[in-house]
Amino acid sequence: MIAALQVALCLAFPAFALWAANKSKLVEKLGPVVLCYGFGILLGNVPGLTLDRDASLHVSEAAVPLAIPLLLFSTELSSWRKLARSLLLCFVLACVAAVVAAVAVGWLFRAETDEWWKVAGMLVGVYVGGTANMSAIGLALSAKQETFVLLNAADVVAGGAYLLFLVSVGQRAAQRALRPFTATGEAADAQTPRAKPIPTHVTVAFALAATIVGSTVGVSLALFGKVEPPFVLVAITTLGIAASVSPRVRALAGSYETGEYALLCFCVAVGSLADVRLLTGSSPTLMLFVFGVMVTAILLHVALAAAFRLDADTTLITSTATIFGPAFIGPVAAALKNRQLVGPGLTMGLMGIALGTYLGLATAWLLRAATS
């Protein structure tokens, strides 16, 4: 009975979180992700209530593989070529900065936690792509659930501070090191806005994502005799990108939003697995780890952008796309008073989601190999 109730709450609470975000300015500022994590953690730490851990694990392990292809279906690979050369260069520099920062900070923290190389890879995933990439990498590397919850909590705090900086004094501060933005006319149409979700399209997208996940799991069982998370998650990412080549798949209105909803279900489930006593005991180390990687990645990205004479707005919108993902492009572009970069920003955010898992896993495996 408790397991069925847990699953129902994991699936239903995200709908309430999205509704509340539309009704309350406070909830909108916090964001549905924070609300879902908070509810999950609260649920998992109610005195006298014993949850079915397996039920939460099953939801969390199913949500991420389904979310990845759904998020990628709307990616238009041909639009990557439409980005101005400076935008593509800035995106590459942001990815390089994230990897270098994770490697450097991870190496400093190698004596603090036995999962340091996993954490470094997960942070590359989130600071190139997003939460889906971080959780996919964590699953692939068999990271502890508590580690993921801590990383996400630290990322929310660090990311919130950086977002406040971006929408307030970010542009003025960046222009001290970078030249002002000059409109090029190349960027405006790099990504078309997503259409309003259509129920039949959502059904088709979900069925296609489920088929990709099911077939990948089947191949893993046939090849290895068991489900191998690294193989499954890399294959799912690759098939999701491949499916996006089809115009019919890209036209499925609501696939991206459905992927986001799956991630919210994941947030509730993984939050319910968190033991506050464990979080309190290990939080400072991972908090410093996350802050160190994010701050180092941002500063290195700005330094590289200055070396290549890139402009402030392009650098800030690229940083937003990689660190926060597509959802935050609009608010930051509005703060920059630069609507021309909205389309390219969305495209770069989707590129980050497509590449984050690969770069994160490569970073983690490189660090593990270097110490073995």
Summarize pLDDT for 176-187 with one digit per residue, the tens.
989 888 765 444
Between vectors from CA 369 to CA 366 and to CA 372, what angle results, nearest 5°?
A: 155
pLDDT over 90 for what percent of the chain?
27
Residue 302 has pLDDT above 80, yes or no: yes
**190 or 372, greater pLDDT:** 372
Alpha carbons within 13 A on the beta-carbon side of 310: 28
Structural domain of 181: 83-253+274-371
- Cβ(274)–Cβ(43) below 8 Å: no
Residue 189 has pLDDT above 50, yes or no: no
pLDDT of residue 68: 80
Please report whether residue 26 resides in a domain: no
Question: What pLDDT band is residue 195 in, cutting at 50, 70 and 90?
Answer: low
Residue 96 has pLDDT above 90, yes or no: yes
Please report whether residue 61 resides in a domain: no
pLDDT of residue 191: 44
Q: Which range, of 64-68, 309-313, 329-333, averages the lowest pLDDT?
A: 329-333
pLDDT in tens, 218-269: 998 998 888 777 678 778 878 888 898 888 998 888 888 888 888 788 878 8
Tokens of 242: 């491949």
Q: Which range, of 55-59, 76-80, 179-183, 283-287, averages the lowest pLDDT?
A: 76-80
Please report whether residue 138 resides in a domain: yes
Residue 64 has pLDDT above 80, yes or no: no
Please report whether residue 34 resides in a domain: no
166: Cα separation from own chain's centroid: 18
Give the dihedral sign, CA 292/312/330/70: negative
Please report whether residue 37 resides in a domain: no
- Rg for the chain (alpha carbons), in Å? 20
Residue 10 has pLDDT above 70, yes or no: yes
pLDDT of residue 186: 46
pLDDT of residue 364: 95
Please report whether residue 312 resides in a domain: yes
Cα distance between residue 265 and residue 12, in whole Å: 8
pLDDT of residue 334: 67
Segment (H or E) for 244: none
Cα distance between residue 86 and residue 308, in whole Å: 9
Alpha carbons within 13 A on the beta-carbon side of 227: 17
What is the mean pLDDT of the segment spanning 134-147?
Answer: 85
Single pTM value for the model: 0.68
Question: What pLDDT band is residue 342 in, cutting at 50, 70 and 90?
Answer: low
What is the mean pLDDT of the segment spanning 194-198?
Answer: 74
pLDDT of residue 94: 96
* Domains of the chain: total: 1
pLDDT of residue 315: 94
Please report whether residue 63 resides in a domain: no
pLDDT over 70 for what percent of the chain?
89
Mean pLDDT of the chain: 83
